Structure 1
């Protein structure tokens, strides 16, 4: 699922081309721009599920 989302966004090569163009990794000491993007992409559906489950009063294990 995540590979399809990344591919929909243009793929890793296109992402790295933009990172190089705008020098967004310049001076980065922790996570790279790619790692941050994947982390945010991974957390997005989980946060929506949490909000939805709280709204409907559902609990998931």
Structure 2
């Protein structure tokens, strides 16, 4: 589970980097902004999931 969450975090970071690259290189900024926002939201959500997962494991040990 921990590795799956870290993998999802890496994917969302790649989304952010792709969005930033498109924001700098293209004329239409709409798609790049959508990618940046999606990456940020998914990163925050995955970090929250990771914190919840870590606290559950601490309780049961």
Fold equivalence (TM over 0.5): no
Alignment TM-score, normalising by the size of structure 1: 0.40
Alignment TM-score, normalising by the size of structure 2: 0.40
Higher Cα Rg, which structure: 1
The structure with the largest helix share of the pair is 2
